[in-house]
Amino acid sequence: MNKYNETLIACEHCDLLQVKQPLQLGQIATCPRCGSRLYFNSICSPMSMLALTLTALILLLPANLYPLLSMTMIGSTETASLLQATLKIFHEGNYFVALLIFICSTIAPFLMLLSLCCASFIISFNIQTQWLKKLLKWTDFLTHWSMLEVYLVSFLVALIKLVDLADIELGVGLVCFSLLMIINSLILSFFDASSYWQKVPIDAIS
């Protein structure tokens, strides 16, 4: 059984050991050696985080299913939603690329938001469950693979490429996707993993 000390913090990136100080709301503690963010006092409570993640989850559906754009060329119109674009690559037989795009643009953002939503729910309503640990681990892992901001910039690049070729009309999906990206960035900047982990009870027996 390992001893632990909750008043200490070690920097994730340089291992510098420090004593935790109480912070005012919105304050961020950074590592004096490497400058990384150590922990912070988020202005966003788990309850507000629950609301944010729920909003994002709801937006995710139209963002994936409604057309991002429609294009008229040689007399016919093609529309493309995020999911259709991924499926097209899959049908072309490029499974690896399709899977990667699917993970980074749809699955990872969805599961990340879902895990964080459930974790916020558990903490807001003080539910005792073993799932909290798993949810927090998944949230951390999936954040790295969620690339909504990259997708939005890619969309703009594709748009500029296409604009010379044909008549383009932007779709509802794009509005939802842009909103989703903004809320997702807010969630990432407000989420303080260490305050969530503090709510996980430490077993005496392990």
Partner 1 sequence: MQSAKDAGLVRCGECALVCSFQENSQCPRCNATLTMRQTNSLQKTWAYLITACIFIFPANFMPITILISQGNETPDTIMSGVIALINSGSAGIAIIVFVASIVVPIAKILGMGFILLSLQLQLSMSHKMRFIMFKFIDWVGRWSMLDLFVISIMVAVIDKGQLLVIVPGPGATAFASVVVLTLLAAKSFDTRLMWDLEKDNDWTN
What are the structure tokens assigned to 39, written together? 């922990």
Residue 70: which H helix or E strand, with range? strand 67-73
The least CB distance from residue 32 to Zn ion, in Å, is 8
> Pattern 23-62, binding to Zn ion, x per CB under 5 A?
--------x-xx-x--------------------------
CA gap 57, 78 in Å, rounded: 27
Place of tokens 């895990």: 115
CA gap 69, 18 in Å, rounded: 51
Cα-Cα end-to-end distance for the chain: 7
Binding region for Zn ion (CB under 5 A) out of 5-13, 67-75, 84-92, 160-168: 5-13
> Pattern 84-113, binding to partner 1, x per CB under 8 A?
xxx-xx--x-x-xxx-xx--xx--------
- CB under 8 Å, gap of 24 or more: what pairs does 75-82 form? 79/171, 81/171, 81/173, 82/106, 82/151, 82/173, 82/177
Chain residues binding Zn ion by CB under 5 A are 11, 13-14, 16, 31, 33-34, 36
Chain residues binding partner 1 by CB under 8 A are 1-6, 8-18, 32-35, 68-69, 71, 73-74, 76, 78, 80, 84-86, 88-89, 92, 94, 96-98, 100-101, 104-105, 133, 136-137, 140, 144, 147, 150-151, 153-155, 157-158, 160-162, 164-165, 193-194, 197, 200, 202-203, 206
